[in-house]
């Protein structure tokens, strides 16, 4: 395995980024004045200092967002006026790609090259949302007879709480925020306590782009201290959450008490199904990419492959050979593809999953260990075989660079195994036979099915999960529609027929 170090003594960042929350149009510290420090999981040095917010800060932010929604400062603007602001935000992000990518890389442990791609990709999400701000519209019904014209209007749903995780902090926020703004909503955002940096830089950009006071508020802090008060607050109309299925369930239950709308993007255990007639080289590459991209800390990661029995051993050996060559190391090294694990808690989850797989009788064919580095938390690319569908390593999300290899005989069996987990986020099928591809695409219960590809995405295409992978869709036209309420207006034309007239 290749571990790449940067052999120099240059500090990873000149000085830690000191971000501020954004409440009611002001960049501010927390009410109690407390702060937390974030260390780079690859270098073990402090890279960010952030306000440690509390319920009081959340309360202030919700009140500001409520006021800004109710006074119409944003929702009363035309779509084109809102689009202008969203475009200015996109330009603001584009101007600060390098700075944001560095913080994103240092806080998550992901390669800087990849963080650059993530931040640049956000620019396009904001531009796409700007286009939707101008094209969002309702419907009219002129087929209801001569006495009625039906108009279905779309109105912003109101104040949206957005709670985000640590694996793609700015990307996931950009799948939510610009679309809610395009619809005319106001928001309170709570980023993951591990990766506040890029969300707070975005707060500065929003200020400069002229987002009116109170329309976007950002409160940093822990889930129970800041996230929970948002979910339960009566002034919040909708909660948009991305994170673990465990916390998602809790949030949905809490939001249910006050009948708030929820949108949930949760975990996955995404299979890639490999048939003997696949494009072999492309499939091997996509398997390696699918499982090690973002060190496997990816809800969409291809953490299990189902390989036809006739090619299973040969295909697995090729995957192992390729896995040995994947460059792991310092995320700031330009050639690194797999960086550090983001937190100690996540490192333990991965190590426990590997131990459980061994105890269940699976074979660790490659890796399986934490790397003995002087600094930082790194896990070897790991391939596990002899995995049975009933084992936890085949069913539970691990969120690390760990591949489970399962085998199958027939298409029907492959689909059955693919569907045999509580998740349903994404899947891929690899074959040159169109019938196999279409049947798999139709019968796999997942929000996205790739045919002869993996992990590609477009802002135009909806993204989300079946079953325990979530509720609702982001991206696509649904992304903006999800943040609206529909209102039916019935216009009567001409004289109305009386229901009853008293006899005179």
What is the binding site for ligand NAD (CB under 6 A)?
Answer: 163-167, 172, 190, 192-193, 222-224, 227-228, 231, 242-244, 247, 250-251, 265-267, 299, 397, 399, 425, 465, 470
Shortest CB 66 distance to ligand NAD, Å: 19
CB of 220 to ligand NAD, least distance (A): 10
- Nearest to ligand NAD of 196, 431 (CB atom): 196
For the question of residue 265 being annotated catalytic, the response is: yes
Q: Residue 363 and residue 402: Cα distance in Å, rounded?
A: 12
Distances (CA, A) of 19 to 49, 162, 187: 7, 19, 19
* Cβ at position 195, least distance to ligand NAD in Å: 8
Which is catalytic among the residues 107, 193, 265, 397?
A: 265
DSSP type of residue 32: T
The string of DSSP codes covering 304-354 is EEEEETTTHHHHHHHHHHHHHHS-EE-TTSTT-SB---S-HHHHHHHHHHH
* HEC-encoded secondary structure of 251-298: HHHHHHHCCCEEEEECCCCCEEEECCCCCHHHHHHHHHHHHHHHHHCC
Separation between Cα atoms, residue 61 and residue 217, nearest integer Å: 6
Residue placing its CB nearer to ligand NAD in the complex, 188 or 284: 188
Q: Strand 17-18's sheet: what is its strand order?
A: 17-18, 46-51, 35-39
Q: CB 469 → ligand NAD: shortest distance, Å? A: 6
Whether 278 is catalytic is no
Q: Which is nearer to ligand NAD, 63 or 245 (CB)?
A: 245
Comparing CB distances to ligand NAD, the nearer of 323 and 342 is 342
Cβ proximity of 311 and 344 under 8 Å: no
State the minimum distance, in angstroms, from the CB of residue 303 to ligand NAD: 10
Catalytic residue among 122, 278, 299, 437: 299
Distances, alpha carbon 204 to alpha carbons 26, 47, 322, 386, in Å: 10, 18, 42, 51
Closer to ligand NAD by Cβ: residue 110 or 333? 110
Query: How many Å apart are CA 169 and CA 118, to the nearest integer?
Result: 10
Active site residues: 265, 299
């Amino acid at each position: 395995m290749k571990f790449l170090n940067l052999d120099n003594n240059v500090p990873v960042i000149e000085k830690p980024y000191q971000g501020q929350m954004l409440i009611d149009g002001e960049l501010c510290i927390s009410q109690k004045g407390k702060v937390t420090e974030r260390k780079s999981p690859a270098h073990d040095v402090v890279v960010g200092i952030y306000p440690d917010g509390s319920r009081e800060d959340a309360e202030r932010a919700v009140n500001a967002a409520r006021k800004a929604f109710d006074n119409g400062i944003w929702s009363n603007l035309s779509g084109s006026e809102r689009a202008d602001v969203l475009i200015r935000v996109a330009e603001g992000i584009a101007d600060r790609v390098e700075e944001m990518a560095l913080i994103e890389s240092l806080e998550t442990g992901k390669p800087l090259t990849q963080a650059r791609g993530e931040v640049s990709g956000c620019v396009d999400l904001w531009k796409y949302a700007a286009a939707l701000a101008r094209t969002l519209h309702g419907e009219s019904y002129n087929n209801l007879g001569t006495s009625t014209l039906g108009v279905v209007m779309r109105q912003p749903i109101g104040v949206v709480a957005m709670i985000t995780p640590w694996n793609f902090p700015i990307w996931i926020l950009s799948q939510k925020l610009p679309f809610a703004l395009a619809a005319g909503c106001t928001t309170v955002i709570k980023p993951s306590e591990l990766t506040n940096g890029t969300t707070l830089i975005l707060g500065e950009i929003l200020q400069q782009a002229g987002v009116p006071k109170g329309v976007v508020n950002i409160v940093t802090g822990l889930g129970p201290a800041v996230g929970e008060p948002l979910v339960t607050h009566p002034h919040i109309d909708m909660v948009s959450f991305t994170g673990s299925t465990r916390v998602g369930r809790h949030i949905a239950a809490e939001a249910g008490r006050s009948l708030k709308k929820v949108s949930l993007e949760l975990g996955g255990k995404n299979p890639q199904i490999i048939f003997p007639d696949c494009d072999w080289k492309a499939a091997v590459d996509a398997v390696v990419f699918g499982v090690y991209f973002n060190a496997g800390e990816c809800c969409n990661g291809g953490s299990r492959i189902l390989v036809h029995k006739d090619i299973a051993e040969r295909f697995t050996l090729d995957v192992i050979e390729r896995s040995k060559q994947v460059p792991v190391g310092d995320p700031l090294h330009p050639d690194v593809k797999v960086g550090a694990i983001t937190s100690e808690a996540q490192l333990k989850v991965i190590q426990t999953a590997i131990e459980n797989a061994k105890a269940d009788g699976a074979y660790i064919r490659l890796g399986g260990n934490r790397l003995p580095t002087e600094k930082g938390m790194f896990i070897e690319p790991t391939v596990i075989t002899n995995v049975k569908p009933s084992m936890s390593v085949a069913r539970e999300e691990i969120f690390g660079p760990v591949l489970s290899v399962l085998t199958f005989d027939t298409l029907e069996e492959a689909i059955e195994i693919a569907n045999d987990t509580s998740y349903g986020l994404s899947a891929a099928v690899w074959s040159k036979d169109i019938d196999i591809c279409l049947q798999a695409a139709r019968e796999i219960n997942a929000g996205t099915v790739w045919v002869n590809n993996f992990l590609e995405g477009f802002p135009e295409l909806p993204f989300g999960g079946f079953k325990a992978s979530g509720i609702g869709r982001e991206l696509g036209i649904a992304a903006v529609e999800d943040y609206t309420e529909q209102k039916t207006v019935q216009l009567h034309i001409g004289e109305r027929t009386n229901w009853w007239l008293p006899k005179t």
